[in-house]
Amino acid sequence: MIRIDVDMNKCQHYGQCVFEAPEVFQLNADDKLEYVAEAPDEMLADLEAAADVCPMQAILITRA
């Protein structure tokens, strides 16, 4: 499994991550980020891409 942590003090809800891994990251009706904290290993490339594009560099991906 892969663990996903978003530092919500850093996140500015830009939603860039949503386009790389929509299965994990979503903007809700108030334009706030929601995400799931775990994802299968196959998603590693998408999740790294999401971490790369985050303007605030708020996303931490770890292999659990």
Q: How far is CA 9 from CA 1, 5, 41, 55, 56, in A?
A: 25, 12, 27, 13, 10
21 belongs to the binding site for ligand SF4 (CB under 6 A)? no
| Binding map of other proteins across residues 20-59, x = CB under 8 A, - = no contact | -------x---x-------------x--x--xxx-x-x--
Q: Which of other proteins, ligand SF4, none is residue 23 near (CB under 5 to 8 Å by kind)?
A: none
Amino acid at 32: K
Q: Does 24 bind ligand SF4 (CB under 6 A)?
A: no
Site for ligand SF4, rule CB under 6 A? 6, 11-17, 25, 33, 54-56, 58-59
